[in-house]
Amino acid sequence: MLKKKERIMELDIFRSFAIMAVLFIHATSTTLVTTKGTSSYYPFLFINTFSKFAVPVFIFLSGFVLFYNYLDKPLNKSMLKTFYTKRLLYILVPYILVSFCYFILNTYAKGKLGLPLTQLGHDFGLQLLKGTAHTHLYYVIIMLQLYIMFPLFLWWFQKQRSILPWVALIGFAIQWLYTYLNKYGFHMPQAGVYGQGIKLPLPKGSIAFSYMSFYLFGALIAAYYSQLKEWLIMTWEGFKSGKGIVWIVIWAAWLAVGILNVNLYYLGIKINTLWYELVWDVHCLLSCIVLMQVSYLIYRHGWRWLSGALTSMGACSFGIFLLHPALLFLYRKIPAHGGTLEYAARIAGGWIIALGVSWLVVYIAFRYVSWSWIFFGTAPQRPQKQMEDQTVKLNM
């Protein structure tokens, strides 16, 4: 009989930091154009660019959770049926319904709701397949691709356990082979441009290979979690034992590489774009470790109200992710007035409202509406009722 693995309560706090980073990116997206050439540009660029670890750390977390839960389970028809049924039910259904809502909202905003139903149906179907009903939904398409690939990786890693120490390097190699081929071999179709090579059906960032280093880094941490746990949980005793030097180096590197990433864009340095991507990649990988460590610190040593609030936010993160762009859309309809400070307050207000209202709506829906899963995915369960793999969360 397989030994039941411990439930890692800190992961919801991890999710809360990731979803806050997603909203930092979206709340400041318009500022990079409107503040260009002003003193406000760098602060907004810093917030926007430094936060771009958001999607990679969600994908890292997905890889960690999947392999942590399934690496030692038999890969058979029953397991696959349960795995895909839950994900189709709690991810695909909300994705379809939310995509339809955003399609109607955006079509109305463009004044195109009067188009023939056949044209609207065709447009919606295409957007559904590509995750383009709204700008953030490409992430769900990435996750669906990773779910399709997961049994193949699981089969490989179970059959060849000796490969486990190398899975992060394998992920890095897959990602960078794809990145290199995308730059020098694949050509996306563009109006008036006739490229050579393979024409991909999706943009580079919507294809799962773009994030394979993070996904399989999560798999590595999951495979050796019992050994790595003492390195992820920062304690004073651990700091004095010599681990503190490693932790300081990781955090310093995280800050330094993140600042470098921001300044590359700020200065507009003309170098091969692969260098931009490498700096971003390293910052995101370091962010996975740093956010796990912060999550452990807050869960174990933070104020109870803070730990509880972040845990709740993380548990609602998929619903927050799906809902928040609609709130930003409505918020930005409010006329703006004033100078620099008022503008900064307006952007901050958008972040607070998009996060706070969507969190509140999702929380209330999960608590009082039994069918809320069709819009927001699986409702979080109370710890005493949670069993391994009873719920499915989109680890965004």
- Quick: pLDDT tens for 280-308: 999 999 999 999 999 999 999 989 999 99
Q: Is 173 exposed, middle or buried (0-12, 13-18, 19+ CB in 10 A)?
A: middle
pLDDT tier for residue 390 given thresholds of 50, 70 and 90: very low
Quickly tell me which residue has 């999960």 as its tokens: 366
Q: At 40, which amino acid appears?
A: S
Count CB atoms within 10 A of the CB of residue 41.
16
According to the model, what pLDDT value does residue 184 have?
83
Phi-psi region of 37 (alpha: psi -120 to 50; beta: other; left: phi over 0): left
The shares of helix, strand and coil residues in the chain, as percent rounded to the nearest 5, are 75, 0, 25
Q: What is the pLDDT of residue 77?
A: 93
Q: Spell out the residues 6+ positions from residue 367 whose beta carbon is closer than 8 angstroms to its own.
A: none
Q: Is the pLDDT of residue 186 over 90?
A: no
List, in order, residues 6 or more apart from 355 with CB less than 8 Å away.
Answer: 19, 20, 23, 313, 320, 324
Calculate helix-pair angle for 317-331, 93-109, nearest 10 degrees. Answer: 10
As a whole number, the mean pLDDT across the chain is 90
How does residue 198 score in pLDDT terms, banded at 50, 70 and 90? low
**Structural tokens at position 315:** 């548990």
- Phi, psi dihedrals of residue 193, rounded to the nearest 5°: -120, 125
User: Exposed (0-12), middle (13-18) or buried (19+): which is 75, by Cβ within 10 Å?
Assistant: middle
